[in-house]
A and B are shown apart, each in its own frame.
Chain A
Amino acid sequence: AQKVTQAQTEISVVEKEDVTLDCVYETRDTTYYLFWYKQPPSGELVFLIRRNSFDEQNEISGRYSWNFQKSTSSFNFTITASQVVDSAVYFCALSRMNTGFQKLVFGTGTRLLVSP
């Protein structure tokens, strides 16, 4: 069975602070995808990143960076110099690679509150 754990229910930071959202996953598959989605107050889930299990290279996109470590089954997300607009619920998700489609297993989400 697949499982995603986001132990942090809610994080509050002040603008310009760096913040890391933790994600730990469980799967028996050797090939899989990992995702992060953002859900702002409007409710629409917004895709941020997908990584496959072959590629453990960290990725940086502007103020966002992701640290994928298979040894600890973690795929953590860091926001540098946080901004109020980053306030949202962030979901980590996992899917099998061999199904041919994206049947996502989501974590419970981490609510990030960035205050001015």
Chain B
Amino acid sequence: GAGVSQSPSNKVTEKGKDVELRCDPISGHTALYWYRQSLGQGLEFLIYFQGNSAPDKSGLPSDRFSAERTGGSVSTLTIQRTQQEDSAVYLCASSLRADNSPLHFGNGTRLTVT
């Protein structure tokens, strides 16, 4: 079956522009996560969704970052007024249940802010 799909795979944007990153989780997976992978910070948790609500958004670096999930499925991570330090690979993962199922990761979106 299909895995976690992320789009775009690559995004280059100018500093100050807004970007939207999309994640299509595996069908039926109730839990969805966003992680970020950067050279400076490694792999770090951003936000967790259970259904359409986000019980833990403690990893979002600033208020320029927001995310939503609709229909218990697709999620969008939005970064406003991008900065060069936002350059990273943004990884989405989903799992069948929140606590007990392995995370299935997508291939990520590589964001470059120039």
Could you list which residues of chain A lie within 8 angstroms of chain B, going by C-beta atoms?
37, 42-47, 50, 91, 93, 99-109
Contact = CB atoms under 8 A, between A and B. Distances in A.
Contacts of B48: 101, 103
B93 interface: yes
A91 B43 contact: yes
B95 interface: yes
Contacts of A93: 43
Contacts of A106: 42-44
A101 B31 contact: yes
A99 B33 CA distance: 14
A106 to B, nearest CB: 4
Given A100-B99, A101-B98, A47 B42 contact: no
B56 interface: yes
Contact of A43 (B89, B98, B102): B89
Contact of A104 (B31, B45, B106, B107): B45
A26 to B, nearest CB: 15
Contacts of A43: 89, 107-108
B30 to A, nearest CB: 10
Residue among A43, A91, A102 facing the most chain B CB atoms (10 A cut-off): A102
Interface string B37-72: 000001111001010000110010000000000000
A90 to B, nearest CB: 12
A46 B106 CA distance: 9
Nearest to A105: B45
B105 A44 contact: yes
Contacts of A109: 42-43
Given A103-B56, A106-B42, A106-B43, A44 B95 contact: no
